[in-house]
Amino acid sequence: MSADAVVLDGVGVVRGGRPVWSDGTFAIPRGSIVIVIGPNGSGKTTLLHLLLGVLSPTTGEVSVLGTVPARGDARIGYVPQNYAANVGDAVRCRDLVTLGLTGRRWGLRGASADERRRVDEALEAVGATEFAHRRLSELSGGQQQRVAIAQALVDRPDLLLLDEPLANLDVRNQQDIVRVLADLRENTDVTVLVVAHDMNPLLSVLTGAVYLLDGHPHYGPIGDVVDEELLTHLYGTRVRVVRTAQGDFFTRSG
């Protein structure tokens, strides 16, 4: 088994006749929690689509968990943006998580005892057990996001892709999602890639970052990427890095 979950070698992407980025060469170690950052339109979601096999590179090669990316790979869990908007009002949370196991099957057979146990484990892992029998439409944004992550985790993936999981959440709900990621880092070997605009809420759990700079994707340890000069160049506005006496750090603009 490769020590790296994701490997890009000379990868370039063109969409709609427009180059998105080029010369992507890096590797992401297994077990990492990695943020994907960059300005709007720089190709953050494009990277996830490459890893999911939805999009093929124009140049170069992509390897995910040791193989060429393919649609429907059960080793990859994925939570898209606006997850709840694509779910019917009447669907219960537990049923949604169960679909993460049974959704690929033809027919109407119910979940087995083992599958029900795995659903219970996924709901417990994200702290969603107490509202598992409620409809998704009845939940807060943070609760909905936890159910979405449970559905992505129920098939026990090796790679978890989260597209803007903190968007439109208040501080408390953001902290709840970060705690879920901290538990994953502590208790599993799953590799996590998180697309996000603001890295501050996630800094306590991140090990690395993919940053899309000057039309090229790069990867680095989080301590190297949280750098004033690099982030100022990346976003085209002054970004300061503030370090506390306890050794923690955060970024702020201006």
Give the DSSP per-residue string, 18-49.
EEEEEEEEEEEETT-EEEEE-STTSSHHHHHH
| pTM metric for this prediction | 0.92
Q: In the predicted model, what is the mean pLDDT of residues 163-180?
A: 92
Tokens of 13: 């992407």
Measured distance CA(218)–CA(5) in Å, rounded: 15
Residue 110 pLDDT exceeds 80: no
pLDDT given at position 108: 47
Lowest-confidence pick of 21-35, 93-107, 157-171: 93-107
Report yes or no: 205 and 186 within 8 Å, Cβ to Cβ: no
DSSP states of 186-234: HH---EEEEE-S--GGGTTT--EEEEEETTEEEEEEHHHHS-HHHHHHH
Give the tens place of pLDDT for each residue, 17-74: 899 999 999 999 999 999 999 988 889 999 999 999 999 999 999 999 999 999 989 9
**Cα–Cα distance for residue pair 136/91, rounded to 1 Å:** 6
d(CA 68, CA 51): 9
For 121-160, how does the pLDDT look when each residue is reduced to its tens digit (9 = 90+)?
999 999 999 999 999 989 999 999 999 999 999 999 999 9
